[in-house]
Amino acid sequence: MEYKRLKDKVAIITGGATGVLGKVMGIGGATAWAFVEQGAKVIIADIDQENGYLTASQINQKTNSVNTASFMKVDVKTETDWEHLISYTESEFGKIDILVHAAGKAIAGDIDKTQVGQWDEMMDIHSKGVFLGTKCVIPVMRKSEHGSIVIVSSIDSHVGGSGTAYSAAKGSGRTFAKVSAIQLAKDNIRVNSIHPGYTDTPLSRKLVAEITSDGSPDPRIPRIPLGRVAHSDEIAKLILFLASDESSYITGTEVIIDGGVTSQ
């Protein structure tokens, strides 16, 4: 019998609507597929209703199931959306084992070029959203006396760059993971953050297209010692490890997965 690393686990993944087959997947979407392949039930939480339903439908078709994957339209910036998501998941599955904060958006710009609205949006998604989701899921995880929360941050939380608001917001997730890990350790709830470098996702492709619109080469490649960007499924494998019992003694840790960029 094949061993399933997440057998009977229930996971919520924000930003999971980027898992449509035949398209470049985002980290959340690739994570949804990685989880179900290892026996988990997944709830995809995203504002993209069309692709969210499509991702869930394709997962269910592949697994010959009607409820391996579910979709809920969720704005991570909104507390009531989180409350409804957590309530639905607990009532449907009786527990929540894993929460992956993978929802994201990027805005570039130096400090003097960044608008207050842009700053607020980045903080709302990457900082407030992570706080709200974690706060709402804690009571359910406490009932089960276990849980794993993975925050998808970025190497931009470790190094400076032109993404003022994005970097600051991602940096808050890095610190929040450590604070949460200490506070929740007594409940056997683990919290870790991961910090991907340049990754081939729908979002990054859009940003690179803007940068190279004049025909200039991709500026990222010369900065990567391994000479290529990451695939989203490579990031998903790290999230899978941190979500599984294989990492049962890992909490409050930040894991960089960047092809060597920050080692220079």
Per-residue pLDDT at 19 exceeds 90: yes
Residue 60: domain span = 10-259
pLDDT of residue 55: 98
pLDDT of residue 239: 99
pLDDT tens-digit map of 206-244: 878 877 888 888 889 999 999 999 999 999 999 999 999
pLDDT tens-digit map of 65-97: 999 999 999 999 999 999 999 999 999 999 999
Whether 161 contacts 262, CB under 8 Å: no
The residue to which tokens 């087959």 are assigned: 21
Name residue 72's beta-bridge partners.
45
- DSSP single-letter state for residue 177: H
Residue 213 main-chain phi, psi, to 5 deg: -65, -20
pLDDT of residue 210: 78
What's the structural domain count of the chain?
1
Residue 24 included in any domain: yes
The residue to which tokens 């061993």 are assigned: 3
With CA atoms as reference, report the closest residue to 150 among 236, 80, 234.
236
pLDDT tens-digit map of 23-42: 999 999 999 999 999 999 99
pLDDT tens-digit map of 104-131: 999 888 999 999 999 999 999 999 999 9
pTM for the structure as a whole: 0.96
Specify the range with the lowest mean pLDDT, choosing from 4-8, 159-163, 255-259. 159-163
- Which residues are known catalytic residues? 166
**178 three-class SS:** helix
CATH classification at residue 50 = 3.40.50.720
C-beta pairs of 92-96 under 8 Å, 24+ apart in sequence: 92/67, 93/10, 93/41, 94/10, 95/10, 95/140, 95/143, 95/144, 96/10, 96/11, 96/12, 96/137, 96/140, 96/141, 96/144, 96/147
Residue 220 included in any domain: yes
Residue 137 included in any domain: yes
Whether 195 contacts 157, CB under 8 Å: yes
